[in-house]
Amino acid sequence: MILIVAKHQIKPEYVDRFPEMVRPFTEASRAEEGNLFFQWSRSLEDPHEFVLVEAFRDDAAEAHVTSAHFAAGLKAMRPALAATPKIISRQVDGEGWDEMGELQVG
């Protein structure tokens, strides 16, 4: 799978409405064939930082970045960005989340 983690630094005046600004992009991405997950989180250390964790089956990532909703999503979030997003994109083994071996509960 292709695992992508992207950090988005948001201007203070957009922080509260950023999740709504990217909602159409998020919903369309989650509906894509080959999408394994697409999850936004807000940093505990920096209230202006949103982190996107997403994964696609290997053959689906290119379709994602060339889709109309991807371009629309970038356009929608651009006014809110305080800086160019930082990204890590890697091909990894697996098809989603595994249980953590070092910390078992139950």
Number of domains, the chain: 1
Q: Answer yes or no: is pLDDT of 58 > 90.
A: no
DSSP string spanning 46-69? Answer: -TTEEEEEEEE-TTTHHHHHTSHH
CATH code of the domain in which 21 resides: 3.30.70.100
| Tens of pLDDT, residues 15-56 | 999 999 999 999 999 999 999 999 999 999 999 999 999 999
37 inside domain: yes
**Residue 9, token pair as written in the block:** 């630094």
pLDDT at 70: 92
| Tens of pLDDT, residues 64-84 | 989 999 999 999 999 999 999
pTM above 0.85, yes or no: yes
pLDDT at 100: 94
**What is the residue range of 7's domain?**
2-91
99 inside domain: no
Map tokens 């799978």 to a residue: 1
**Residue 94, token pair as written in the block:** 């697996």
pLDDT band, residue 88 (cuts 50/70/90): very high
